Structures are given as C-alpha cells and as structure tokens.
Amino acid sequence: MSPSISDAPILYSSSFLCSEFLTNQHRDTYASHVGHYDQLSYYAVATNESVGRLRLEFLEKMVQPCGP
C-alpha cells in the first residue's frame, strides 16, 4: 500500500503557513507594482506622489517583515 498525504508528518502549523503565504503574496504584489512602470505611474497619479518616491515606499514594504 502506498503512503498517503495524511501519513505525512506535520512540520508547520496552519497559522504559520497562512502567515507565510500572505507575506509572499504581499511581496509579490509590491514587486509587480515596481516592475510595471505603467501601473506604478497610475498609483503615483492617484496618490499624488512621485514615481520614484512610490517605488521607494514599495521596495521598503517588500523588505519589512509581515506576519506574527
């Protein structure tokens, strides 16, 4: 009989996996905003900020830890 997924040991709690998932999702979103200039300039106009300042804020948010 082959092993099933339920036989695998649990290495992390579900709250840790959720936190890690959300952290990665936030970082990927900020990286996408920084990488797409048209989208970044749209956010800059909407928030009345310069593109460079907004790019710096997004890069700083990518580095900051999030989660518990």
The structural domains of the chain, with segments of one domain joined by +, span 22-68
φ, ψ for residue 36, nearest 5 deg: -105, 105
Per-residue pLDDT of the chain (68 residues; tens, 9 = 90+): 555 555 555 555 565 667 788 888 889 999 999 999 999 999 999 999 999 999 999 999 888 766 55
Verdict on whether the full-model pTM lies above 0.75: no
- HSE-up (13 A, CA, CB side) for residue 44: 18
Task: Measure the CA–CA gap between 37 and 8, rounded to whole angstroms.
Answer: 44
Task: Measure the CA–CA gap between 30 and 42, rounded to whole angstroms.
Answer: 14
Vertex 38 angle, CA 23 and 20, to 5°:
5
Vertex 62 angle, CA 60 and 63, to 5°:
70
Question: 38-53, pLDDT tens digit by residue?
Answer: 999 999 999 999 999 9
